[in-house]
Structure 1
């Protein structure tokens, strides 16, 4: 087990429950070759002692007027709540981003490194987003998303009354060549599977829970609409009148934290 503690903007303290060399340390945490170039590693990490790892060229968090809402945080990562209508990170337009707000929180708390998002949510979607706080651990978290080992669940409110308790949609997704902003179910698209659970029905609408097996762009929105249940207030996949923000929220993330390499489960209650 490996534990981290931030020292300052040039170093991190690391403690291991067994004696390991630098190569084994990097292998266990999936530290990329490019990230190693900015590290000053001891030849060996001494068992049950705090060892210093030097860090070069690390970006510092910047100030933002509106800090993020933090749902979970440890020394290596945090989970923030993204409200609808803002980007996770910048697209060059200068629009406000969740990443700016997260780093405002870190700046205010005195944390020395700039955090970066490990995944994205659509700008219209609200909910939980995971950020890596220590630069050389970015690949540790990114790899969990690449390997699809992160557990992700969403709440969604849809138009229509679903007559089933559970439904698995296994339909590949590709770009709509007639509309660059949209995705469609497409035979030669990328593999995509979503598991829907019916939670309740009322007034011609159904509250669903969706579990993502894959994480394609707009996957839940496309699969839900394709199944005949467009999400309420979806500007792309619903023809109904829009009366508010998109009724889609990521409420559950399950992942392994680099801090002690422990399974971490973060959930919030329904806010739709």
Structure 2
């Protein structure tokens, strides 16, 4: 069961309870939220209210999302690009456009569907919808992910993420010309109070640190490498927008006029961690996908 709470801000006052909650997640329909309210899964200040309750500034909305009735997650031969595999861990190069794990509206074609076809032994710590998944990257971000094949490995890998010892380097194309060669963005990230389907730099957010360095400059864009110290949702996309250099092609955080790239130009190119059982340091590198490399070559030709 997923639990969350939300304190109503001034600009949200007088909004209907069901409308506010359904706006938090794209996959939550109004009718579904109304049923949760009726069942008492959603309360306001600890009390059950009706769906049409008008929220007041300072109200505490508590949401307990009930476990969904799970469909059978079918194994699918998705021809995964496996970079490494042993009895404990697997490293896969996820293509752009692939969702990592099943969710409402995405029960086929996900990385998990492909993993279940490829191997039957995956950790169960994150539940039946996310077997083996230790960390995620966005649907339209390509690149390397580590997958745990048993609960022991999952706990060890998750601990390394928590201790910030995992190496995660991304390559990104951003709008504008970054004037300095390198920098660090240390700014907390949380849900955007003006749009709950997005993340933003907010005072009460979770610590988030991104290090970047410039690799190549173009007329209106900069190609950079980003190293994550933390792993917040949409971290690179939010941080680069925060400093005035949003990712090219980003439909959520980029400008309206951006490159038609089918999503943000972001690739998880380097992944390094200690093997959960042997302690050996493993480092993997995945080259830029063809469309990303083609985009850079187009910019180099000044087109």
Could you tell me the TM-score, scaled by structure 2's length? 0.64
1:251 and 2:269 correspond: yes
8 Å contact from structure 1 (residues 137, 258) kept in 2: yes
Match in the other structure for 2:220: 204
After superposition, the C-alpha distances for 1:24-46 in whole angstroms (9 at most, x for unaligned) are xxxxxxxxxxxxxxxxxxxxxxx
Gaps of 5+ in 2: 1-72, 124-131, 293-303
8 Å contact from structure 2 (residues 93, 286) kept in 1: no
8 Å contact from structure 1 (residues 85, 123) kept in 2: yes
Tell me the CA shift for residue 103 of structure 1.
2.6
Q: 1:157-236 maps to which residues of 2 (within 5 A)? A: 157-236=173-252
Q: Secondary structure at the match of 2:195?
A: coil
Corresponding residue pairs, total: 207
1:69 and 2:77 correspond: no
Tell me the CA shift for residue 66 of structure 1.
1.5
Q: Of residues 129, 134, 144 in structure 2, which corresponds to 1:128?
A: 144
1:113 and 2:121 correspond: yes
1:241 and 2:258 correspond: yes
Tell me the CA shift for residue 96 of structure 1.
2.0
Of structures 1 and 2, the one scoring higher in RCO (CA 8 A, sep 6+) is: 1
| Structure 1 or 2: more strand by fraction | 1
Over aligned residues, Cα RMSD in angstroms?
A: 1.8
Matches of 1:191 and 1:140, distance apart in 2: 22
Q: 1:18-37 maps to which residues of 2 (within 5 A)? A: none
After superposition, the C-alpha distances for 1:46-76 in whole angstroms (9 at most, x for unaligned) are xxxxxxxxxxxxxxx9631313111122221
Tell me the CA shift for residue 242 of structure 1.
4.5
Gaps of 5+ in 1: 1-60, 107-111
Could you tell me the TM-score, scaled by structure 1's length? 0.71
